[in-house]
Structure 1
Amino acid sequence: MRVKLIYLVFAILFFLLPTASWAAERTKILMNLDLIDQPEVFSQWQISNDGDDYLYQQDDGFLLKDRGNAHLVYPLTFNYTDYDKLVVTFSTDQPIYVVVIPNISTTGFNTYELQKRVLPSPDFQTVEFSLRHHLFKDTLTDFGLNFFASRPANVVIKEIKLEKMSSAQVFVQAVKDYFLVAPYSPFTVNVIPTPRIFGHDAFIYLLPIFLVLAWLLFFSTKYRQAALVGLLILWLVTGLRLDYELFNYQKNDYQTWVKPPTPEKIFRNYGDLYVFIDWVKQNLPDDTLAINYYQIGSDYFPQIIQYYLYPTEVRLEASSAPVYVLFHQPNIKYNSEDNRLYRRQNPISNPGEIIATFNNNSFIFSEK
């Protein structure tokens, strides 16, 4: 009875916390239309977007014509004791990944906790990133926002701001972190990633609780029953977390591969590779015996492509075949002046033409 009463009191106190305890303690706005007249804030943004390094002002925000891998960089000295949440409100017409990169101009580390996938919508969507992470423990000199898309996207940014979470928000964030699932990887077959809280293994937070409950169970007659209930709750929470992780992978497969139309399909860590392969099979000339294949991607992608294109031979980064197939390769461009392909200003092909385009960095080129 006493244990139930304690839980009931805790629940009542938790839900009756003053509204102010859920509000951010302070806010710093870094981008919105109101800052146009404050160049000391707005003009500090640096944009890198494959040559189109501009934000275009609109009535509802700032248009970023993302060419697939745009970066916005803002110089600011802070750590998570100053601000521990980043809030970005924007719209996009293509599926896009938004990645927060601390100290982008120096170390540039990032992690899955600082990545969000956003589906296209004409309406503005708000994406929140917790910066209560060890990557933000030391003082930063700048941070970056990477808008990564497999196809060119029109991104309209309404607002970007930093916030300092309240104690209640930090507690809720710890729960969110615990149930945040790491992206699928080939290693997931044999190893389930450890849940993390604030960028650290959740184990370091749960182990002291387990040890205290275990000690009470074996050495305390007064609190033995409460300790047993606590251990059962801890076991239930960890079990549910494991089930949630497995369910999340299935849900993600449905949302990114089964449900979307073919041009938008993405399969786990393969991205849009299989959509690209189907596209190549449809657009490759029938008499093609071999292709020169260039990519940015995993080392085993060429073997997968070879399997599906057989008997056409796939020659990795060669120039011996008259047909070139490029997959997400931004370093190779078509020069319309001499009709050749260039890799970092060096020609790699004879004159020819692009016969089919998948996206800006993926196409089929055939020599004449």
Structure 2
Amino acid sequence: MHRFSRILLTAAALLAMPTAALAMTETVWNFLDGQVPGGDSWRYSGIDVPQTTPEGLRVTASNDDGSMLVDLALPHPTQVVYITLASRTDETAKFLWHRRADVPGNLLELPFTITGGGTEQTVALDLDPYPQWDARTDAIGLSFPQGSDVLLREIRFSHWNIFDQTMEVAKSFWIFPKFNPYNINFIWGPVITFNPVGTESIFSTLPPRGRSGMWLLYAALIVVAGGLIAYGIWKGKKQSLVVIFFLAYAAVWILFDVRMGAEILSYVKNDYDTYLSKPMGQRIFRTYLSFNDMMDRTAPWLEDVEELGVLRETSPIIAMTRYFSLPATVVEPDGPRPDVKLWLVYHRDDVTVDGEGRLTVGGVPWSAPGRIVEQLDTRAFLFRTTQQ
């Protein structure tokens, strides 16, 4: 009976261990109600004397760019730093840190944006992807530009356990980038992250914030090869182990192939959801947004014209416009063209229709009188002159 109880206790401990291990380790610095974690150890440069308030620590840099630094000795490594603050104006601040291996005073920095308006906001800085980051840094700080008036409310230093990190690796492995014209030049493959903040913003920048998932393939093959070699030395078997290794290699390869195929299918699904299944006037095609839809709506107006005048913003759409407009010729005049009957105005806020019904560019008439015959979107329209 005693032995059975020990078995039950051991099983319960093993079942409970992952749950406890999934907990995030976090250190919170609260600046509310006059508190200043770190106390007098903060070192200020270019910053007015900070004011403690019930709403947080008020930090101002009236005459110059300012910074505030403090030594750090946390009981755990840090992957993500959360900074909660408020500012009346938009600012570009910087998070500062010192690597233990660097000389004193040599600081690294990561810029971040503060949105004005005075409302509380939390900026999540995922430091995992940066090789310059020291997870056990011995000093951190903040830098604010001249004129800043910021209310600092909280700083949190977060670290996830190995179980949580494994879950984020699995989740990020199956996250696909959105289709872009540059995809053919940047074949990222799977990108993995190790915390929820990194997973959420994985493809928000170029290059992606994360590590290549190919390391999973290499690691799996190394582990399998090492295990088979050790087993072969122990048992004295070799030939069958080679077969097992190549079977393991094939299994991992198939996993990656399935992942790549799923990425292509995700583009197909997105095209169906945003373009193929939508009625005309609501279709969005990848990074071209509503352009393809607009050209389909333009086609009936091209049947009796030889030229299509285009007034556009700086964008690469002109080549596609020429293709969709055939056999009509696309012209981009650099001056008035009253002989052009049909005009496509695409995202040009300086183009309007004057009181006489003419297209004007910066107030200068460019067309014969006419009217807008098709509003393609909020900033694009077709203009047709009334001349015969």
Using structure 2 for the length normalisation, give the TM-score: 0.49
Whether the 8 Å contact between 1:80 and 1:131 is mirrored in structure 2 is no
Structure 2 residue corresponding to 1:325, chosen from 344, 361, 365? 344
Which consecutive unaligned segments of at least 5 residues does structure 2 have? 1-10, 31-54, 59-84, 99-110, 115-122, 134-140, 145-153, 193-208
Whether the 8 Å contact between 2:24 and 2:159 is mirrored in structure 1 is yes
Distance 2:345 2:309 in 1: 8
Whether the 8 Å contact between 1:293 and 1:315 is mirrored in structure 2 is yes
Partner of 1:363: 381
Distance 2:131 2:92 in 1: 14
Whose strand proportion is higher, 1 or 2?
A: 1
Distance 1:14 1:346 in 2: 74
Secondary structure at the residue paired with 2:281?
A: helix
Structure 1 residue corresponding to 2:212, chosen from 196, 201, 210? 201
Partner of 2:252: 234
Partner of 1:21: 23
Aligned residues: 260
Partner of 2:320: 304
**Cα distance change on mapping 1:273 and 1:199 into 2, 3 Å:** same
**Aligned residue runs from structure 1 range 125-204, under 5 A:** 131=126, 134=129, 166-168=159-161, 169-185=164-180, 192-197=187-192, 198-204=209-215
Secondary structure at the residue paired with 2:376?
A: strand
Using structure 1 for the length normalisation, give the TM-score: 0.51
Which sits farther off after the overlay, 288-297 or 185-194?
A: 185-194
Distance 1:247 1:234 in 2: 20
**Cα distance change on mapping 1:340 and 1:183 into 2, 3 Å:** same
**Cα distance change on mapping 1:286 and 1:246 into 2, 3 Å:** closer
Shift of residue 220, structure 1, vs aligned partner: 4.1
Letter in 1 for 2:20: P
Which sits farther off after the overlay, 176-185 or 333-342?
A: 333-342
Secondary structure at the residue paired with 2:19?
A: coil
Partner of 1:295: 312
Shift of residue 304, structure 1, vs aligned partner: 3.3
Whether the 8 Å contact between 1:351 and 1:367 is mirrored in structure 2 is yes
Percent of pairs identical after alignment?
16
**Aligned residue runs from structure 1 range 242-261, under 5 A:** 242-261=260-279
Letter in 2 for 1:326: V
CA RMSD for the aligned pairs? 5.1
Secondary structure at the residue paired with 2:345?
A: strand
Shift of residue 255, structure 1, vs aligned partner: 1.5
Whether the 8 Å contact between 2:360 and 2:367 is mirrored in structure 1 is no
Shift of residue 325, structure 1, vs aligned partner: 0.8
Letter in 1 for 2:258: L
Distance 2:304 2:384 in 1: 12
Relative contact order (C-alpha < 8 Å, sep 6+): which is higher? 1
Letter in 2 for 1:289: E
Which consecutive unaligned segments of at least 5 residues does structure 1 have? 1-8, 29-36, 47-73, 82-101, 106-127, 143-160
Whether the 8 Å contact between 1:323 and 1:364 is mirrored in structure 2 is yes
Distance 1:358 1:140 in 2: 47
**Aligned residue runs from structure 1 range 260-299, under 5 A:** 260-282=278-300, 284=301, 287-296=304-313, 299=316
Whether the 8 Å contact between 1:326 and 1:362 is mirrored in structure 2 is yes
